[in-house]
């Protein structure tokens, strides 16, 4: 597993000087949630150090991602009666010190990064479970006690064993993929009560599988109000690749649940998707295909809240797939900060400057098609526009060459 790298001073300064972003709004249908913590790309590509998982603040450098569920709190009850977390190469109980008498790693070095993201208007939650988590409750009493533990360790409570130190997370996410449904309703209900008496807004989300009802959280989803569900439309027969199959794609079923069954009639339903073809066994679709799906779902279903991606490392390694999806969610209008951070060979980060035009140079545009506002382009694609040759730096749809988005590099005027 790669060793931990800390956020560069240059990126911290960039974040500090960035104007405050608007507050997170769960009621929008343009939100993007991306899991961070497991370094799924780096785990399967150990030689590609340029795309190993970075500090969480690295992924907050622009406006693409709105929500970061930290993955995962993978053990509910471990040494000393406390849970434990595993954040892959960033923080785990093997490579990092643990609190005495427990298996909980001290990840307090992440405080600055978490708080920097929050200051930019993003919400950071802790995700409980995962595909290999040691999770579950024996009864409601145990679940209620565990809710207090989570409140004290990660949210508005207090404890000497807070893994993220003074950072107060914005809520929890339940990615429960095994065990029984015992206790989860009591757990969420108790946590809701604690949050109601807190001094800020908290959120509770879940990541059910797309087959309805969910085998592990179905009863809880029907009994307690969630703010959003990140439905996993991948690794299942109802995944994104079956969007055009009316007997498989079932977003409408989840929309109906949101409006007629959920105790929270304003609950938002997200399309959960892999951020690259290697991020899941099935369900990945290219940005252009996904953009078309998003536009149709946005217009059809009022419960639609946005997209969830697994995970940040895969999205960045896949040509900033997150930027492409955010552009699709916002109608191709970009993501605010136009130039994404790039990674140096040493793992540090820099922010590329806005591309400069070079009208004095001459480039042949013979055979290069004119730019089209309705066409999707990816990194390396070339177009002609206003007598110049332009090359795309990353995925783009509707961004005019020479415009403020900074997507296109001017290669010079076309020779005759």
Which residues does the annotation mark as catalytic? 177
Of 147, 326, 185, 355, nearest in space to 263 by CA: 185
Half-sphere exposure of 218 (CA within 13 A, CB side): 12
Structure-token match 């996410």, residue found: 173
* Rg from Cα positions in the chain: 22
8 Å CB contact between 309 and 33:
yes
Q: How far apart are CA 170 and CA 124, in angstroms?
A: 5
Q: How far apart are CA 364 and CA 387, in angstroms?
A: 10
CA 287 to chain centre: 16
Of 1, 28, 207, nearest in space to 95 by CA: 1
């Amino acid at each position: 597993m790669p060793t931990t790298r800390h956020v560069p001073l240059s990126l911290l300064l960039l974040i500090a000087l960035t104007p405050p972003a608007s507050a997170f709004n769960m009621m929008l249908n343009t939100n993007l949630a991306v899991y961070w913590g497991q370094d799924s790309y780096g785990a399967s590509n150990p030689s590609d150090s340029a795309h190993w998982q970075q500090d969480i603040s690295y992924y907050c450098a622009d406006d693409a991602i709105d929500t970061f569920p930290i993955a995962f709190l993978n053990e509910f009850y471990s040494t000393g009666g406390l849970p434990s977390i595993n954040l892959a190469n960033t923080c785990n109980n093997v490579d990092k010190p643990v609190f005495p008498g427990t298996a909980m790693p001290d990840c307090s070095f992440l405080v600055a990064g978490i708080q920097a993201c929050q200051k930019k208007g993003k919400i950071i939650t802790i995700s409980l479970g995962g595909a290999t988590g040691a999770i579950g409750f024996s009864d409601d009493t145990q679940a209620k006690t565990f809710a207090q533990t989570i409140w004290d360790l990660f949210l508005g409570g207090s404890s000497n064993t807070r893994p993220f130190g003074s950072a107060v997370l914005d809520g929890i996410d339940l990615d429960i993929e095994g065990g029984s449904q015992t206790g989860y309703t009591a757990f969420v209900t108790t946590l809701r009560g604690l949050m109601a008496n807190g001094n800020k807004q908290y959120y509770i989300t879940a990541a059910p599988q797309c087959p309805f009802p969910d085998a592990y959280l179905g009863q809880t989803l029907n009994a307690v109000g969630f703010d959003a569900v990140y439905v996993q439309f991948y690794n299942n027969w109802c995944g994104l690749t079956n969007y055009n199959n009316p007997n498989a794609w079932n977003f409408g079923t989840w929309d109906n649940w949101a409006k007629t069954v959920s105790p929270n009639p304003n609950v938002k339903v997200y399309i959960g998707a892999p951020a690259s073809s290697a991020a899941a066994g099935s369900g990945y679709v290219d940005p252009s295909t996904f953009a078309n799906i998003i536009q149709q779902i946005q217009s059809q279903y009022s419960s639609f809240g946005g997209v969830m991606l697994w995970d940040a490392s895969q999205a960045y390694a896949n040509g900033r797939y997150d930027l492409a999806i955010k552009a699709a969610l916002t109608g191709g209008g970009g993501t605010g900060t136009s130039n994404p951070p790039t990674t140096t060979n040493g793992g540090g980060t820099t922010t590329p400057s806005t591309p400069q035009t070079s009208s004095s140079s001459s480039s042949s545009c013979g055979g290069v098609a004119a730019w089209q506002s309705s066409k999707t382009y990816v990194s390396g694609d070339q177009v002609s526009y206003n007598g110049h040759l332009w090359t795309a730096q990353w995925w783009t749809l509707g961004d005019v060459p020479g415009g403020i988005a900074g997507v296109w590099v001017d290669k010079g005027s076309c020779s005759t």
